[in-house]
Amino acid sequence: MTTVIAINGSPRKKWNTATLLEHALEGARSQGAETELVHLYDLDFKGCTSCFACKLKGGKSYGKCAMKDDLAPVLERIAGADALVLGSPVYFGNVTGEMRSFMERLLFPNLTYTRPPQSLAPRQIPTAFVYTMNVSEQMMKENYGTFIAANASVLKMMFGSSESFFCNETLQFEDYDKVVFSYFDPEERRKRRREIFPQDCRRAFNLGVRMAEIAGGA
């Protein structure tokens, strides 16, 4: 059976990023896939500690992260998965700290220090990165293009393919009256949540369908 794993890099389990990932997995399940959603903020783990055990010639951990913590079994399941979806809100112009730490642990062991660099990933699988953010699509293109392109490039290099998914101008708070906030009109964001976010959820569902179809060889 096709297995699709989604990684939630948001501290929220029921908000924008997690909701989109859940819809993506629903789409994958509609094609018969088995799915799993991992919340990084539930895990006790760190980023890469530069032990280089994954690079030692003949080492038992060559090509694999040697650290033993809550992330280790997740990385093992990803190694056997048929598709992978990452999801993160954008904080201070990049993914969350937990997502960045996860990416270090996922990607660095699979990267060879050769010329040119190569991937040690067990096999090629479809991947996608779901981004949620407060800014508009235009501001995203002007300010976030570099790191988004870099993430897509490294995921493609490691696993063979990658797709980027964007959800802009998200609703940050359930009740804007409780916070000091004048950056934009909260009512405009509420309206967008009602009218546009459901469309984003449908797009996420279709993303999951595509990934399951590709992973299953359809």
Using DSSP, state whether 58 is helix, strand or coil.
coil
29/5 Cα distance (integer angstroms): 11
Residue 119 and residue 157 in contact, taking contact as beta carbons nearer than 8 Å: yes
* Per-chain mean pLDDT for the chain: 93
pLDDT tens by residue, 81-105? 999 999 999 999 999 999 999 999 9
Kindly list the structural domains of the chain, giving each domain's residue range(s) and its CATH number in brackets, ordered by start. 3-215 (3.40.50.360)
Hey, what's the torsion of the CAs at 187, 19, 134, 102, to 10 degrees? 160
pLDDT tens by residue, 154-200? 999 999 999 999 999 998 888 888 888 777 888 888 899 999 999 99
**Residue 126 β-bridge partners:** 161
Is pTM beyond 0.75 here?
yes
Looking at residue 86, the DSSP 8-state letter turns out to be E
